[in-house]
Amino acid sequence: MSVTDTQATACSGGLPEVNRERGQRQVFCGLAGIVWLHRKIQDAFFLVVGSRTCAHLLQSAAGVMIFAEPRFATAILQERDLAGLADCNQELDRVAAEILERRPDIKTLFLVGSCPSEVIKLDLAKAAERLSDAYRGRVRVLDYSASGLETTFTQGEDACLTSLVPELPAGSAGERSLLVLGTLPDVVEDQFARLFAELGIGPVHFLPPRHATDLPPLGSATVVLLAQPFLGETARALQRRGATLLTAPYPFGIEGTLGWLRAAADAWGIPAARLETVTAPAIARAERGLARQRELLAGKRITFLPDSQLEIPIARFLQRECGMELVEVATPFVDRQLMESELAWLPSGVRLSEGGDVDRQLDRVRTDRPDLTVCGLGLANPLEAEGLRTKWSIELVFTPVHGFDQAADLAELFARPLVRGALLRV
């Protein structure tokens, strides 16, 4: 049984009205973030303190090949641990020692909290402090919570990057730098680095870095540009250390990427003509790539169920650049500080929901019968069985979708299930 609280709140400045729902949700937990974080930070290891269910989730989400040795593992809490009959800290120290002996290349060890470890109130902050003292000069040990009790799966990255903020070295007070916040595939990061260099913006750093030993400097001259919309706590932690946060849309599609780059160009005083010259070739390529996908998507109706926190910027891209009709855009949280530019671009009258009541949302999907529903894996199969086409939202964080050169690939993710559905009907 769930208790539901539904209320509507009007955003300021003529922004869309937000319908808030509070009830049963169905989302992944933050442990899923380890799947892309461990690939990005190449000298880090993620040790989850959790149950066998946590281990199974990671293995199935990562799809690790049998010959691969991933940089994550689960210290499984047994019945004796949960009953308080064993010294969890002693066992944790033993497991950490085994990992570091086997993997001398590891420079940062993350102790990742889960629902089970939080239920028994295992103090991972104290454990990280103790292990940091034991391995000082050899490895940095940090902790963060990836529990899914009150959060959605992308907040695991937010918690991880927030734990890194106190470790960032102090930057020079007089040297302005750009810090791009959010995990990006290496190919996308390289593309953005080239664009910033051509614009004359720099130095440019990325958080997280490819190696935890290369943490970017941070200070009052640091300007932060978010690449992912679910990093509110990290952004505010950077601001508390003196950084300035730019207001910008997110780099999805042509319009979003151009607006994102323009925010940085304006901060550096780059003339608009220079921005146009540098981005024109990439925009032309993106337009050619989008043309075919637009033919498949234009006029199709789409509903987003709350899952990844990417829903608002992706919906903006699909409506404004691909011609799709937004039936409902639901997202776990609406952080107005981070979504100001995106909310202003949503069409007036769009049904915008925050939070979740899965039963009510599914009722609306069945009533609306959109051409495509974006949702988590747990809801996709039942909806497909009812003849409704779906797209897994988790694919949006596993696939390179940022920037001009990925705009067509992003659109194709949504065209593909529609094409498949049409073939099945033949």
Sheet holding 108-113, edge to edge: 72-76, 44-50, 108-113, 140-145
β-pair type (372-375, 44-50): unpaired
Nearest CA to 197 out of 257, 268, 250, 284 is that of: 268
Tokens (6 digits) for 258: 């151009």
Read off the DSSP letter of residue 216: P
Nearest CA to 270 out of 184, 180, 178 is that of: 178
Tokens (6 digits) for 49: 């303190």
Cα 88 to Cα 111: distance, rounded to the nearest angstrom: 13
Question: Look-up: residue for tokens 């599609």?
Answer: 253
Residue type, 169: P
Q: Answer whether the bond into residue 271 is a cis peptide, omega within 30°.
A: no
Helix (H) / strand (E) element for 325: namely: strand 325-331
88 is in an annotated binding site: no
Nearest CA to 19 out of 29, 28, 31, 6 is that of: 6
310, 375 Cβ separation under 8 angstroms: no
160 is in an annotated binding site: no
What are the Cα distances from residue 346, in Å, to 7, 310, 395?
20, 14, 23
Cα 293 to Cα 301: distance, rounded to the nearest angstrom: 15
For 7, phi then psi, to 5°, come to -150, 150
Cα 50 to Cα 68: distance, rounded to the nearest angstrom: 22
Binding residues for [4Fe-4S] cluster: 29, 54, 115
Annotated binding site: 29, 54, 115
